[in-house]
Amino acid sequence: MSCTSRLRCTINGVACDREIDPRLLLVEAVRDVAGLKGTRVGCLTGDCGACTVRIDGAVVKSCLVLALSVEDRAITTIEGAGDLTEIQHAFVAENGFQCGFCTTGMVLTAAELLRDNPRPSEAEIRRAISGNLCRCTGYDGIVAAVRRAAEARARA
Ligand code: FES
Ligand code: FES
């Protein structure tokens, strides 16, 4: 006999009201219930940042969160974040990705950094992304992309 529980939240501004397995992680709910595959599954241990989403605007590693714990909260995934244009352009311009597996987490983490610190130093950028692993080791391009995005926003 299967046991389910009801999850009510919003994902990218759309109401989600579904019966789910209470053991489901948020990353699994985002990908497999909501069908939003831009959020990646990497380590499932909180180490790689591939599963990064926003909960009520704050970046969170969604493999560390039970889906049922986001009752009545607002989830935003890479598909629904509307404030990433300069950062995405900068990642393209600076070759800030290779396979792209880490890019969702890197971009959302960079956006949070630039929101809180619009002109970060290189050291501050490296510290901010230290919880996100790039298995292609493309860190120099990622740091350059975040700097470029900061400069673009400063000019805007
Ligand atoms: S899959 Fe969540 S931190 Fe790696
Ligand atoms: S670009 Fe491949 S994991 Fe970062």
Place of tokens 């992304």: 129
Q: Which ligand is nearest to the CA of 138?
A: 2
For ligand 1, whether the C-beta of 51 sits within 6 Å is yes
Provide mean pLDDT across the span 110-117.
98
Structural domains in the chain, sorted by start: 5-74 (3.10.20.30), 85-155 (1.10.150.120)
For the CA of 136, the closest atom of ligand 2 is 2
Instruction: Give the pLDDT of residue 2.
Output: 72
The protein residue with its alpha carbon nearest to ligand 2, atom 4, reads 134
Encode pLDDT of 5-18 as tens digits: 999 999 999 999 99
For ligand 1, whether the C-beta of 47 sits within 6 Å is yes
The pick from 136, 139, 140, 146 for probing ligand 2's pocket by mutation, whose C-beta has the most ligand atoms within 8 angstroms, reads: 136
- Ligand 1 center from residue 27 Cα (angstroms): 9
The residue count for the chain: 156
Percent of the chain with pLDDT over 90: 98
Whether 1 shows a pLDDT value over 70: the answer reads no
CA nearest to 26, candidates 69, 58, 56, 59: 69
Provide mean pLDDT across the span 112-123.
98
Place of tokens 């995405």: 88
For the CA of 46, the closest atom of ligand 1 is 3
Rounded distance between C-alpha atoms, residue 154 and residue 149, angstroms: 9
HEC string for the chain: CCCCEEEEEEECCEEEEEEECCCCEHHHHHHHHCCCCCCCCCCCCCCCCCCEEEECCEEEEHHHCEHHHHCCCEEECCCCCCCCHHHHHHHHHCCCCCCCCCHHHHHHHHHHHHHHCCCCCHHHHHHHCCCCCCCCCCHHHHHHHHHHHHHHHHHC
- Ligand 2 center from residue 4 Cα (angstroms): 35
Percent of the chain with pLDDT over 70: 99
Mean pLDDT rounded to a whole number for the chain? 97
Instruction: Give the pLDDT of residue 156.
Output: 86
48 and 133 in contact (C-beta within 8 Å)?
A: yes
Encode pLDDT of 53-110 as tens digits: 999 999 999 999 999 999 999 999 999 999 999 999 999 999 999 999 999 999 999 9
